[in-house]
Amino acid sequence: MQYTTNENSTDIHSELIAKFFHGLSNPTRFKICLALLDGKKNVSELVEELEVKQSQISNQLVCLKWCGYVSAQKEGKFIYYQITDERVRQMIELARQIVADNAEHISCCTRM
């Protein structure tokens, strides 16, 4: 999809960016991404680490993979997931820094 500078395309672009951030607003999806910052993991490893049901992990991985947050690679009988786009890693790290600087205000916000 190519973007132009007209008003309609700016709205579409803004909606896509908001949707991108919404992808990380689900706590399980975000925890999966955090776990994958340490390196590639399979579903069983994520289930054990996050203490979340296998079906929930698998369901959220489908979304994360489809939208480009993670990629999958089959190794033997297992599929390993990893964050392959360094920008996702950087974005998560930047978010952690911003939250650390603004934690009190974010936790008290009644508008989100």
Note if the pTM is more than 0.85.
no
Tell me what percent of the residues of the chain surpass a pLDDT of 70.
Answer: 93
Q: Reply yes or no on whether the pLDDT at 105 is more than 70.
A: yes
Calpha distance 23→89 (Å, rounded): 14
Full set of structural domains in the chain with CATH: 27-108 (1.10.10.10)
Calpha distance 112→109 (Å, rounded): 6
The pLDDT value given to residue 33: 97
The pLDDT value given to residue 6: 56
pLDDT in tens, 52-70: 999 999 999 999 999 999 9
1-12 per-residue burial string, b: 16 or more CB within 10 A, e: under 16: eeeeeeeeeeee
Q: Reply yes or no on whether the pLDDT at 82 is more than 50.
A: yes
